Amino acid sequence: MPIKSFFARRAARKGIFQRKTKAQLTSRVVIRKPVSWQNRLLWGGLVAVVAAVAGAALFLGGQYSAGYDSFSTARSMTELKRENAELRARAAELTNALETASTQLHIEQGAHQSMEAQLLKLEDERNRLNRDLALFDNLFPSAENDGRPSIRGFRIEPASSAGNLGTWRYRLLIMRSGKVGGSFVGEFQLQVRYRQGGQDRVAQTADAGKISEALEFQRYQRVEGQFQAPPGAKLLGAVARVMDNGKLVAESIYRP
């Protein structure tokens, strides 16, 4: 029958196809060796390295294309750090040098001030010695002198005490040279002259310079004291006298 023959032919073709497919599949099967974990780890590491390099390249390429060069920036930062360290070291050296110079300057200033004070002290001492030498100069000049008093080393100087403007100090030595028989008893007088308001004036009080003191000595006597000039007055000079019973026996004039 035609239907039976159709199914028979179909079944025959199907069997041939199935046999052919199994043969083809069997011919395609390949037996491979298993891959060890060391090789897998190696290949995985290589893949990771390649991926990292590729990522870094892409990152740097993106920065460079955007105008930012990380390598140049890193070099610049390194150079700036080095220069900063050098500048800091130089600043520290200069600071130490400045401190040393400042300390040395303070020491020199202190030494200079001390030297100035010593010089002033020595100058005052020298002036005092010169005054004393002038006072005692020729204390016994001649044995032929009759022992009459004389005035030596008459000086008038501004008082050294601060705040005493217009205060003057006088000093002198009254001495007897030659043969002296006994003590001299007399009077010392000081008369100071000023210029005030365009006129010459003489002191009228002891405070202003009209001074009188009693004397009694055998060989010599130092006389010194102070007086105060009137406000606005200029010192013109002074006269020192030694009186014996109202009689002038010695006189010395001071002019500034």
List pLDDT tens digits, range 82-132: 888 888 888 888 888 888 888 888 898 888 888 888 888 888 787 777 666
- Evaluate whether the domain defined by 144-254 bears CATH number 1.10.940.10: no
**Using 50, 70 and 90 to split pLDDT, how confident is the model at 18?**
low
Highest mean pLDDT among 23-32, 60-69, 240-249: 240-249
User: Between 85 and 8, where is the model more confident?
Assistant: 85
Contact 230, 208 (CB under 8 A): yes
Across the chain, the runs of DSSP E, i.e. the strands, are 146-158, 167-178, 184-196, 199-202, 210-217, 220-228, 234-244, 247-254
> Is the torsion defined by CA of 172, 178, 184, 187 positive or negative?
negative
Q: Where are the domains of the chain?
A: 144-254
- Range from 21-25, 108-112, 130-134, 233-237 carrying the lowest mean pLDDT: 21-25
Q: Which of 47-56, 97-106, 212-221 has the lowest mean pLDDT?
A: 47-56
Q: Are 178 and 142 in contact (CB under 8 A)?
A: yes
Residue 242 has pLDDT above 90, yes or no: yes
- Give me the residues paired with residue 195 across strands: 200, 234
- The DSSP element (H or E) to which 179 belongs, if any, is none
Residue 166 has pLDDT above 90, yes or no: no
Alpha carbon distance 250, 145 (integer Å): 14
Q: Give me the half-sphere count of Cα atoms (radius 13 Å) on the Cβ side of residue 26.
A: 6
Q: Rounded distance, CA 131 to CA 111, Å?
A: 30
Q: Report the b/e string of 218-238 with b at 16+ CB within 10 A.
A: eebbebeeebbbbeebebbeb
Range in 114-123, 130-139, 142-151 with the lowest mean pLDDT = 130-139
